[in-house]
């Protein structure tokens, strides 16, 4: 039953793609499986592999009751291949083929482009697991440790999702790509992951929460654009991945919110009204708000780089060909072809940043980035409610999109967080007021002490409002072994 919503749990690989009858692909995946487990054990979460973790596993692909929660050792997690239900009569929603029936097989003329899209998306999934592999040791609570591992196993499943598409639709090339996805390593100088932000370190829990808030949200935008794809198996794959991705952003957003709450409560209790009284605030064992702002600046800038060049022929081709759409393409009311349309793009010109209209097709990366910024700003606004609620006079803001960029139009200039272009000297002089200094990083590192008692939290983070799957506050989310 390749198109059904029910998941077959009988074989080695849970799936709703009819693997039991698809011998070639099943063999390819079963051959790939030991290498994956090997990768998970060497590059996945360090320690805790023998511990029982309260994890959710997908048991359906609908919007309700699609997951069950239970204790499982991570290497025994049932990583599966799960596609959202097929929509009968679906047509290609945009580009030159708009209105034609959605492809169930790879369109030959776009084979190379599609393979590239799958590999780039696939590469980010194991990369983030590698980046986060040391964090279990310093988890601020069992609740947070569980959330980390949940994100990790689901990124592992997202790798499976892309590997399935490669192996099912790209034959030998696909199998080779699937092997290579297990070979590259985040941060490895000889064999790095493909995109910059996925080779950065995630050395502490503040970085982890910022990463899941900012960078997993890039994942959401990319998946949302691919969920519109005219290649139907990719669309269905990404639609289900988005269901899981929401939790990753929840972990980041609520993690930072709980830090803000703890800091504000600590300041109140100590009678400190000035958020810039950093030395005294740090003595409370909480993270000062200016450092939170600097971390947000850094992670926002790193993530914007993932959207690529503002002006991009690749993005135009991916759209024209019907492979990668825009965010919420199906809700947009234009012609979905963009021939003759324009889009405003920010770029530096003679020392100032100006807005220029360019052909909309070549500005699709820019457009997706703009949608990302709007989505991110809504999350930041939710953070800022905590300041209002606690009466601390502060708010987190997003820096200008030109700030601290390494890719695209702004890579050539330094700016401040308002987008004012700075000389190199001014940048050097002022940068530690805008991105974390080594002293800030050392302070954060000094706070990273594990808390493993049930229901307890370290000094710098408030407990969550609600337990996972409505469990009580003292629930033992991870039963630590070994």
Interface residues with Fe ion (CB under 5 A) are: 125, 155, 158, 216, 219, 245, 248
- Of 247 and 414, which has the nearer Cβ to Fe ion? 247
Q: How far is the CB of 98 from Fe ion (least distance, A)?
A: 28
Q: How far is the CB of 306 from Fe ion (least distance, A)?
A: 13
Give me 436's structure tokens.
């974390």
Q: How far is the CB of 125 from Fe ion (least distance, A)?
A: 5
- Of 125 and 370, which has the nearer Cβ to Fe ion? 125
Radius of gyration of the chain (CA): 23
Q: How far is the CB of 223 from Fe ion (least distance, A)?
A: 8
- Of 160 and 460, which has the nearer Cβ to Fe ion? 160
Q: What number of H helices and E strands is found in the chain? A: 13, 7
CB atoms within 10 A of CB 434: 20
- DSSP β-ladder status, 478-479 and 52-58: antiparallel
- Of 219 and 266, which has the nearer Cβ to Fe ion? 219
330 class by beta-carbon count within 10 Å (0-12 exposed, 13-18 middle, 19+ buried):
exposed
Residue 73's alpha-carbon distances to 56, 67, 131, 247, in angstroms, are 12, 17, 21, 20
Q: How far is the CB of 360 from Fe ion (least distance, A)?
A: 28
Give the E-state strand segments of 235-330 in sequence order: none
- Of 158 and 414, which has the nearer Cβ to Fe ion? 158
Q: How far is the CB of 320 from Fe ion (least distance, A)?
A: 26
- Of 146 and 248, which has the nearer Cβ to Fe ion? 248
- Of 212 and 320, which has the nearer Cβ to Fe ion? 212
Q: How far is the CB of 62 from Fe ion (least distance, A)?
A: 20
| DSSP SS3 for 347 | strand
| DSSP SS3 for 395 | coil
Q: How far is the CB of 216 from Fe ion (least distance, A)?
A: 4
Cβ partners under 8 Å of residue 162, min gap 6: 118, 119, 121, 122, 125, 181, 237
Q: Using alpha carbons only, give the angle 128, 435, 271 rounded to the nearest 5 degrees.
A: 105
Give me 434's structure tokens.
């805008």
Cβ atoms of 450 and 46 closer than 8 Å: no
Q: How far is the CB of 199 from Fe ion (least distance, A)?
A: 16
Phi, psi of 481 (to 5 degrees): -125, 150
Residue 370's alpha-carbon distances to 152, 296, 344, 378, in angstroms, are 28, 17, 10, 13
Q: Using alpha carbons only, give the angle 311, 313, 318 rounded to the nearest 5 degrees.
A: 115
Cα 356 from Cα 354, distance rounded (Å): 6
- Of 196 and 344, which has the nearer Cβ to Fe ion? 196
Q: How far is the CB of 124 from Fe ion (least distance, A)?
A: 7
Between 23-43 and 171-181, two packed helices, what is the crossing angle to 10 degrees? 10
CB atoms within 10 A of CB 453: 11
- Of 110 and 208, which has the nearer Cβ to Fe ion? 208
- Of 154 and 288, which has the nearer Cβ to Fe ion? 154
- Of 215 and 263, which has the nearer Cβ to Fe ion? 215
Cβ atoms of 443 and 291 closer than 8 Å: yes
Cβ partners under 8 Å of residue 264, min gap 6: 386, 387, 390, 391, 392
Give the residue from 221, 154, 144, 238 showing the smallest Cα distance to 462.
144
- Of 217 and 336, which has the nearer Cβ to Fe ion? 217
Q: How far is the CB of 241 from Fe ion (least distance, A)?
A: 6
Q: How many CA atoms lie within 13 A of 406 on its CB side?
A: 11
Cα 61 from Cα 43, distance rounded (Å): 28
Q: How far is the CB of 248 from Fe ion (least distance, A)?
A: 4
């Amino acid at each position: 039953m390749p198109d059904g919503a029910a998941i077959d749990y009988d074989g080695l690989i849970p799936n709703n793609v009819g693997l039991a009858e698809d011998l070639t692909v099943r063999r390819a995946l079963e051959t790939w499986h030991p290498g994956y487990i090997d990768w998970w054990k060497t590059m996945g979460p360090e320690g805790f592999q023998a511990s029982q973790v309260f994890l959710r596993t997908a048991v359906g692909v609908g919007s309700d009751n699609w997951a069950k929660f239970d204790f499982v050792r991570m290497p025994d997690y049932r990583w599966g291949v799960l596609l959202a239900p097929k929509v009968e009569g679906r047509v290609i929603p945009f580009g030159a083929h708009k209105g034609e029936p959605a492809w169930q097989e790879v369109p030959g003329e776009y084979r190379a482009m599609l393979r590239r899209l799958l590999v780039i998306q696939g590469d980010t999934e194991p990369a983030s697991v590698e980046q986060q592999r040391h964090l279990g040791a310093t988890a601020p609570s069992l609740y947070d440790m569980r959330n980390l591992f949940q994100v990790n196993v689901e990124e592992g499943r997202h790798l499976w999702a892309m590997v399935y598409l490669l192996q099912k639709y790209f034959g030998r090339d696909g199998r080779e790509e699937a092997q290579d996805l297990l070979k590259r390593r985040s941060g490895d100088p000889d064999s790095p992951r493909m995109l910059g932000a996925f080779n950065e370190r995630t050395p502490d829990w503040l970085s982890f929460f910022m990463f899941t808030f900012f960078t997993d949200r890039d994942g959401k935008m990319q998946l949302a654009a691919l969920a519109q794809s005219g290649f139907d198996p990719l669309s269905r794959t990404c639609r289900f991945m988005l269901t899981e991705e929401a939790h990753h952003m929840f972990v980041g957003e609520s993690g930072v919110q709980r830090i803000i709450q703890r800091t504000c409560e600590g300041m109140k209790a100590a009678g400190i009204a000035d958020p810039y009284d950093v030395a005294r605030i740090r003595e409370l064992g909480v993270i000062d708000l200016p450092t939170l702002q600097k971390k947000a600046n850094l992670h926002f800038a790193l993530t914007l780089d993932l959207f690529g060049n503002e002006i991009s022929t690749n993005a135009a081709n991916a759209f024209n060909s019907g492979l990668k759409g825009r965010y919420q393409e199906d809700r947009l009311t234009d012609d979905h072809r963009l021939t003759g349309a324009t889009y405003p793009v920010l770029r530096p010109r003679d020392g100032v940043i100006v807005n220029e209209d360019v052909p909309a097709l070549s500005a699709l990366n820019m457009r997706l980035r703009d949608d990302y910024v709007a989505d991110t700003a809504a999350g930041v606004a939710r953070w800022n409610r905590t300041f209002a609620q606690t009466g601390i006079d502060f708010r987190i803001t997003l820096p200008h999109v030109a700030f601290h960029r390494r890719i695209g139009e702004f890579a050539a200039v330094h700016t401040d967080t308002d987008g004012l272009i700075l000389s190199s000297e001014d940048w050097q002089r002022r940068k530690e007021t805008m991105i974390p200094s080594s002293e800030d990083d050392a302070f954060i590192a000094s706070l990273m002490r594990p808390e493993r008692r049930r229901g307890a939290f370290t000094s710098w983070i408030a407990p969550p409002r609600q337990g996972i799957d409505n469990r009580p506050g003292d629930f033992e989310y991870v039963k630590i072994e070994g």
